[in-house]
Structure formats: C-alpha cells, structure tokens
Structure 1
C-alpha cells in the first residue's frame, strides 16, 4: 500500500470505526472520516472529519479525493428499524454509490465490512463451523432486512471486484469493548444483562472478538488481503451460558440461570417489535436477532490468523472494558 494519501473510514465514529481510526493513526496514516453524526469526540491525532451521508454522491466525490485506501463501515448496524426500507437505502444503495464513485479514483484497497449474519443465515442448520468457503445464501434464506441488505451490498462488492476495484471483504463476528456510543446489539445485550433486565436467556452459539482485534483485522485485510477474498474476523466460540458465566466471574454480577425455548423467544420478540412500533423505541429483542440465535453461529476463524496474521486479544479484558465504559457513561443502574 502507498504510504501517501488518506485512509477513508466511512462510519468512522461508530463502534468499530472509532477503534479503526485510532489504529490507523497509530500506524502514522492520514485519516479521513465520513459520518452522518459527527460529534466533538477527539481522536488521539489529527483526523479530517466530514459530515454527510453515503447516499450523497457529491460528498462521496469530495471525500474520495486524495484517498488511497477505503474502509467502508457506514451502515445501520441494528437488527430492527421502524422503517425497514432504511436498511436497503443505507446498507445496500449507499454501498453501491460508494463503489461506483470509488472506481473513478486510484484506490489501492477497498475494505468492505460485511456481517456474520450474511454467512450464518436463518436456515443454516449445519453443525460444522462456518468458514469463508461457504457460498452466499439466497436473500430468502436470511432472517430479516438487516442481513438481506448486507448480502445485497456484498454482492455489489463482488461485482465491483470483477470490474477492477481492488476490494476485500471482512466479516466481524460479535465485537465487544469500550466506546460503543450507538449501543449496537452486542453492547446493548451486555448492558441489559448487567442491569438485570434480562431474566432468562436463549441458549445459543456466539463468536466474540475484542473490537480492537476487529480494527486490526481491517488494516491487515487492506495490507495483506488478496483482492476478492473474504476474511472472518472472529475469535472465541462459546455458548450464551458460557458468556454469562464469564460476566459473573469478571464483573461479580449475578446472571440469569433460566433458559427459554426458541419458540418462546421468537414469540416474545414479535410482541416486543409490536410495542416498539407504538413507542418508537428499540425493542430489547428482535425477530431477526432471535432467528440468528437459532442458527449455528460457530465460526472457523483460522483464515484471518493464517493469511493476515491477526492477533489474539483477551476477551475477558474486552468485556471488562465494555462494562467500564458503560458505567462511566451512565448506562448501568
């Protein structure tokens, strides 16, 4: 990669994006951020911040000027929205616009942040760990509008690769750590457990990865990843019950012991979504989230370790950092 020019991070003020920007600064990169909701947070270094939407072609043209590497993270990260069309507008059409404009510039690498949901799929019943050899599913095989929008966006990236864009795709699993200002689903889940708002849980498989490792994985994908390749950025496979035990041991808070069957969880999620449509508040659980929890969600993450030399970070430490940040910012009772 060229040592000159900007590294553009779309969604650079989101959870993963903030950590990615800091990691790029530490590597001596000139960083430019495009985000719909920039705030006054100061990075540990100079950052060129633009306020705007990835749906705005004019701002896209501006931020791509002088850029050598693009990290496209901007998306609606939640598993529920009052208007489901927002997922397709931002996650899919926004990606298409950025791809089309990026092809006009001498980009060295375009790293697209996909989602584990695209690989797992609602109807994925195999007991084998999921890896990058798994073909992309059909839209109807996915659990909801979020994952379907990310699938369509990823297909657009593959098409752009065929047209000459040097893109690489990464799939973060469940990132944990400090700084999740938007309270994405993983952090919201931890917050609710710590606040005692979740009285029972659905046993399921999870793959956790410290958010700092996810940030590093993005940079390594740009530096060492092969064009057109896909890399799962994950680390620790575990059961939900194992995560709850880790929370108890690390943070000293009692976790729920009662399990609920899938049928009860999906019914509860439907009721919560109905209530959310009335009060316009994010539901504690979504139908898409429960459907995802009902799939395999066990990942083989060895490709990123072998080909990108992705480091292993401490998951318990990341959990402590997440809890500390939640407490510091008034999210814990």
Structure 2
C-alpha cells in the first residue's frame, strides 16, 4: 500500500530531521509550514502553507493523495520555558492539536503520531519515570508542560473515538539541523561564541534529534494504538555538556553557579538577553527543570521500537560541525 507522510512543523528542529530521514528512505513526504516560511526541501518534498490554529488551511494536507494511506506526524508546537500559559501557547499546542485530531479522524488517516514531551508526565520525585496514560496540567510545572499534558490527554480521547494514534515523548532535544531557535542549541552556540559567563549546577536528560526522529518514525510503523513511548537518553550535568564542547572546540572552563545564586541573577540575565535580542537561556522554570527528576526510562521504546540513543559526545560533535558549516561564507 502506498504511503504519504504528512509532517507538521516541517521546518522545525525535529520536523525537518524527520523529513530528512524519510527522504533518505525514498518516502513520499508532505510538510506543513507557516505562510511566509521557506521550504527546506522544495525539490524533494511537497509543502502546504497553513496554520494548525486555522482548520481550513489544513485541508490541502489531506487532498491529492493518489490513494496513498496518510501517516500524520504532528511535531508542530510552541516551546516555552516560561511559567504561565499564554493564549498563543494554548491556542497552538492544545487547540491546534485538537484541530488536527478532528481532521485526522474525519479523513481516516492510517496513523497519527503525536510528539508530546516527557514534561507532560506527572512529576514524581526520586522515582524512575516510565510511560503513563494519566495526564493533567495540574500535575506538572511550567507553561509548556501544562499545554503538552492537555494535548496528550486529547490524543488519548480521540483514540477512544477510533483514531489510530500513538504518542512519543522526547526529553531535551539537541543536535544538528536546527533553524528554529532550539534553546539547547542556543546554549551551545553561546558558549562557542564566548557569551556565557558561567554555567549552572544541575542537568537534564539530553537526547539527539536524529534518534528522536528515528524513534518517531518507528512509532508510526510499530507503535501500538493508544500507547506512549518515552524517547530519552540519560542524565547529563550541564558542566558535562560544556566539558564535551571544550574537548572538541576548545574554550574556557566556566565557573559553576549554584541554583540559588542563578535565581538571584535572573533579572540581570534577562536584561542582557533582551539587549542581545535573544531569549534568556535561564528562567525560573528552566532552573527548576535543571534540578527536577529526569530519571526517564526508554526501555519500552527500545524493546518495541528498536530505539537506541547515541552518546552525547557524538551529538555535540555533529552539532558543532553543522553550526560551522551554517556560518561558513558561501563560495
């Protein structure tokens, strides 16, 4: 049976990486990007200009399929390290997801893969966190986590209505091919450009975008209806990340600030970020995240999807190589 892969957020970090992998396999791909954006693979993939908050603009995603089964991978969304849920964040991450779910059910897509987040998993200190089917905005911290929890809950509601959907939940995504402003890639860039005066004590589970892309595609092929799959790696201290960068690209050793001191410095860091016209790397919520429980188990994804995350050294090495190529002047 012929397949058509429809990817929302087609120019996002994960979305464009998923498309790269599918094109390498010779699959037919149709990407959704916002009006005014430039397609990344115009000669190899189809593109639709639309907005997930405007259902009428999404209809071309489901037309002219030539009888192919549609596999919809929903990566589009807003990422935020703020505390409060804004109207835009809710409209895109929750209402936009429900718009796609309704259309997918109506058009009887073969498979719907929702890219959620480990942040949507209810927090439980000191425990290894594995997959759950219980999601609530009240059980997680931070605006992004709350919207992803609610959107994940809606996906499961549509499964009960008959939609063949699965959910993947990546941890902190890092890696090459980012053109959308990934916070972690920004952190690497800022260090290389000597813009970071210090790092903060703490860490998180960082995973390669290419491994998440592979896991997402595997979920489309092998994932069980209504199931969730954590796509994580392991915990890395922030200072470990910078030590890896130093071992590859050089640079100075950064002093490590305790979290309490970083919290006191937040107003200054936010002021500096505004002057540079950049988002602040550290906020109240991002500092909270660096000290939260990130003991995620990807055992289920490894067993059922063949998911195998790589070591972070390879991720950072390839990210630095990609950044250098991106910044190199055209001949």
> TM-score w.r.t. structure 1 length?
0.88
Corresponding position of 2:87:
85
C-alpha change, 1:56 and 1:134, in structure 2 (3 Å) is: closer
Residues 266, 291 of structure 1: 8 Å contact kept: no
C-alpha change, 1:213 and 1:327, in structure 2 (3 Å) is: same
Higher mean C-alpha displacement, 259-268 vs 214-223: 259-268
C-alpha change, 1:81 and 1:139, in structure 2 (3 Å) is: closer
Report the Cα offset of residue 280 of structure 1: 6.7
Corresponding position of 2:314:
317
Task: State the secondary structure of the residue aligned to 1:129.
Answer: coil
Residues 115, 172 of structure 1: 8 Å contact kept: yes
Q: 1:264-275 to 2 correspondence within 5 Å?
A: 264-269=261-266, 272-273=269-270
C-alpha change, 1:298 and 1:197, in structure 2 (3 Å) is: farther
Report the Cα offset of residue 222 of structure 1: 0.7
Q: 1:208-219 to 2 correspondence within 5 Å?
A: 208-219=206-217
Which runs of 5 or more residues in structure 1 are unaligned?
Answer: none
Encode CA deviations 1:33-83: one digit per residue, 9 max, x unaligned. Answer: 00115315336x621111111111112122123351000001012424999
Encode CA deviations 1:246-289: one digit per residue, 9 max, x unaligned. Answer: 22222222231x22222232343355457778997422322221
Corresponding position of 2:202:
204
Q: 1:60-139 to 2 correspondence within 5 Å?
A: 60-65=58-63, 66=65, 68-80=70-82, 84-119=86-121, 121=123, 124=124, 126-133=125-132, 135-136=134-135, 138-139=136-137
Report the Cα offset of residue 185 of structure 1: 1.2
Corresponding position of 1:47:
45
Residues 84, 143 of structure 2: 8 Å contact kept: no
Report the Cα offset of residue 101 of structure 1: 1.1
Encode CA deviations 1:72-124: one digit per residue, 9 max, x unaligned. Answer: 00101242499922110111110011111111012111000011222264xx4
Corresponding position of 2:220:
222
Corresponding position of 2:304:
307
Determine the C-alpha separation between the residues in 2 that align with 1:32 and 1:292.
35
C-alpha change, 1:83 and 1:166, in structure 2 (3 Å) is: closer
Aligned residues: 323
C-alpha change, 1:31 and 1:184, in structure 2 (3 Å) is: same
Encode CA deviations 1:107-153: one digit per residue, 9 max, x unaligned. Answer: 111000011222264xx4x22322214843x4244332222111111
Report the Cα offset of residue 299 of structure 1: 1.5
Q: CA RMSD in A?
A: 2.5
Residues 78, 185 of structure 1: 8 Å contact kept: no
Task: State the secondary structure of the residue aligned to 2:38.
Answer: coil
Residues 120, 292 of structure 1: 8 Å contact kept: no
Residues 68, 109 of structure 1: 8 Å contact kept: yes
Determine the C-alpha separation between the residues in 2 that align with 1:112 and 1:255.
39
C-alpha change, 1:130 and 1:269, in structure 2 (3 Å) is: farther
Task: State the secondary structure of the residue aligned to 2:207.
Answer: strand
Task: State the secondary structure of the residue aligned to 2:224.
Answer: coil
C-alpha change, 1:261 and 1:292, in structure 2 (3 Å) is: same
> TM-score w.r.t. structure 2 length?
0.89
Report the Cα offset of residue 22 of structure 1: 1.2
Report the Cα offset of residue 310 of structure 1: 1.3
Determine the C-alpha separation between the residues in 1 that align with 2:186 and 2:134.
30
C-alpha change, 1:308 and 1:242, in structure 2 (3 Å) is: same
Determine the C-alpha separation between the residues in 2 that align with 1:49 and 1:290.
38
